[in-house]
Amino acid sequence: ETGVTQSPTHLIKTRGQQVTLRCSSQSGHNTVSWYQQALGQGPQFIFQYYREEENGRGNFPPRFSGLQFPNYSSELNVNALELDDSALYLCASSLAETSGFEQYFGPGTRLTVT
């Protein structure tokens, strides 16, 4: 069984640029959630996708957008990067039909905006 993977591991971007982060869900999982974790803070929910549709969104502006593909892999896109977007971005996959909605997290992508 393959776990959740994310790419790239690290990324450095300049303010105003756009970035795409990628996540490959655990085998068999149909739901993916994205979280932003600033230094010293707990992760904050960005949004969730279920069967390629956005299924919920946290308090993040529209410049944070996502996609989920038929194979349940996912992308997080951030436009017009700001310095405060510097954080660890985590994706988590789960199988919606199981009890508990237990989520399995990937290792994260460290984004630095300069």
Partner 1 sequence: KQEVTQIPAALSVPEGENLVLNCSFTDSAIYNLQWFRQDPGKGLTSLLLIQSSQREQTSGRLNASLDKSSGRSTLYIAASQPGDSATYLCAARDQTGANNLFFGTGTRLTVIP
Identified binder of partner 1 from the candidate list 21, 106, 111, 113, rule CB under 8 A:
106
Closest separation between CB of residue 77 and partner 1, Å? 19
Which residues from 71-100 bind partner 1, rule CB under 8 A? 88, 90, 92, 99-100
CA distance 57 to 34: 10
Total interface residues for partner 1 by CB under 8 A: 30
Residues 6+ apart with CB under 8 A from 17: 81
Complex with partner 1: residue 43 or 85, whichever CB lies closer:
43
Do the bridges between strand 53-57 and strand 74-78 make them parallel or antiparallel, or are there none, so unpaired?
unpaired
Q: Are 109 and 67 in contact (CB under 8 A)?
A: no
CA distance 68 to 21: 12
Binding status of residue 44 toward partner 1 by CB under 8 A: yes
Could you give the 3-state DSSP secondary structure of residue 15? coil
Complex with partner 1: residue 18 or 105, whichever CB lies closer:
105
Which residues from 4-33 bind partner 1, rule CB under 8 A? 4, 6, 33
Binding status of residue 60 toward partner 1 by CB under 8 A: no
